[in-house]
Amino acid sequence: MRAFLLSTVFALSATAALAADVTVSELKLDDLPLGQVAYPGGKTLTLVRGIGSAAFRDPSDPAGVVWTLTDRGPNLDCEGIEELTGLGIDTLCAGDDKAKNFPMPDFNITIQKVETGSDGTAKVTETISLKDKTGKLVGGLPFTADGIKMEAAFDMNGKPLTRVNGLDSEALVRLPGGGFLIADEYAPSIVEVAADGTLVKRHVPAGLETTLANDGVEVVGTLPAIMAQRYINRGLENLAISPDGNTIYALMQSPLANPDSDAYKKSANTRLWKIDRATGKVLGEYVYVMDDAASFAADNKKEPQKQNAVRMSEMVALGNDKLLVDERISKTTKFYVIDLATATPVDASFDDAKTSPSLEQMSAADMEAKGLKPVVKTLVLNSDDVDGLPKKIEGVAVMSPTEMIVFNDSDFGIEGDANKALRVTFAAPVLQ
């Protein structure tokens, strides 16, 4: 435990020194208007197409090209919805404060090709619509399925919504040959997508393949069954791929609700899997310990944050088993480099939901006693230490060992936030 604390202190000191050698410049990004939505008898929302849910730089592309992803579409938390719409939770959400309201239920999830230039611009030059094999456009409405806890969804008139093939798209990888992988929070799942946006195959936790079967895409239960223990809206949000395209890295957004939601709320232990792309075989599972919520300074200015406010929002492979991760609350984002070579693989027994205590319930002392070493984290940037970075950074594209381009999640402009793309340049090659 002492060694872990020392490494953390060293990382923080290194970042303090680096902060003065980091420059942030905003790229002029297209406005991308989505339209206006008028709630009956209420307020009108002016929406933009939010493209920053994920980002990916394909080294085979021309210089400056980045691929980005929208998430499931404009949606409002039903708790407190009256402030945004002028209408109450009983009218729009049947009184369910855990539900979501979708003002554009027919929204189609898209992948964007963004070309960034040395002139300080970022322009969307290609848009790829997701569709299933029948040609039906794929959106982000929740679905109903046995054994999966989901949010209830309502439209702008308060009518219930559901969709069979809905995805909560949160991470993007471009494959050799031009296809994509997308991480979905709902199931959670990893979805193979052809270059034209057609869903090819959906990989779900083992045991859910029959429940989630539909005519629009092949569904296979190749992921670890324990993934299904994700807390609602805290599923699989991070994907990366090795430079040779053979290995997939998948990181949960938050600790699993294993064995229950109380474990999720208190834990800092998130799971990271290393998966063989060709076979789907798990090559290793690792523990990533998130920082204490109190260490995210900007988010704690008004009131103390709870541990379950911390989340993992993006991951990029820098090399084989070496990854850059985005750990944040809302206003503060920390960028860590991790190396799986120094971590201990998790024993298979912790993938059994009956194991007690669960991995999520274990303390640092518990893990040390079992010889289980979490991944070591080296902090390369804390947004609290530099000016100009936006809140809710969810898209990260590594352009070179000294440069990354980051995108915010604008939430489609529901609360007036604009899409932003920023170039972050380091004086030292920390991203190699």
**pLDDT by residue (tens digit) across 297-314?**
999 999 999 999 999 999
How would you class 279 by CB atoms within 10 Å of its CB: exposed for 0-12, middle for 13-18, buried for 19 or more? exposed
The pLDDT-based confidence of 24 (bands split at 50, 70, 90) is very high
Q: Strands 54-56 and 169-174: what pairing?
A: unpaired
Please indicate, yes or no, if residue 432 is contained in any of the structural domains.
no
Give the distance from CA 405 to its chain's centroid.
16
* pLDDT value of position 173: 98
pLDDT at residue 12 greater than cutoff 80 = no
Identify the pLDDT of residue 148: 84
Total domains in the fold of the chain: 1
* Strands (DSSP E) found in 264-359: 269-276, 282-289, 311-319, 322-328, 333-339
Q: What is the pLDDT of residue 3?
A: 36
Lowest mean pLDDT segment, chosen from 12-21, 43-52, 271-280, 281-290 = 12-21
Q: Per the domain annotation, does 50 fall within a domain? A: yes
d(CA 67, CA 52): 10
The reported pLDDT for the residue numbered 162 is: 82
| Alpha helices, H only, 192-322 | 261-266
Report the C-alpha gap between 412 and 37 in whole angstroms.
Answer: 12
CA 302 – CA 315 distance, rounded (Å) = 29
Residue 20 pLDDT class (50, 70, 90 cuts): low
Closest residue by Cα to residue 333 from 298, 291, 383 = 383
**Is 375 within a domain?**
yes
Q: What is the rounded average pLDDT for all residues in the chain? A: 94
- What is the distance between the alpha carbons of residues 290 and 296, in angstroms, rounded to a whole number? 11
Domain hosting 398: range is: 2-426
Instruction: Say if 62 falls within a structural domain.
Output: yes
Would you say 165 and 201 are in contact if contact means Cβ atoms under 8 Å apart? no
Does residue 4 surpass a pLDDT of 50?
A: no
pTM of the model: 0.94
Residue 274 in any domain: the answer is yes
pLDDT at 145 (0 to 100) = 80
Residue 413 in domain:
yes
Residue 431 maps to a domain: no
Check if the beta carbon of residue 56 is closer than 8 Å to that of residue 173.
Answer: yes
153, part of any domain: yes
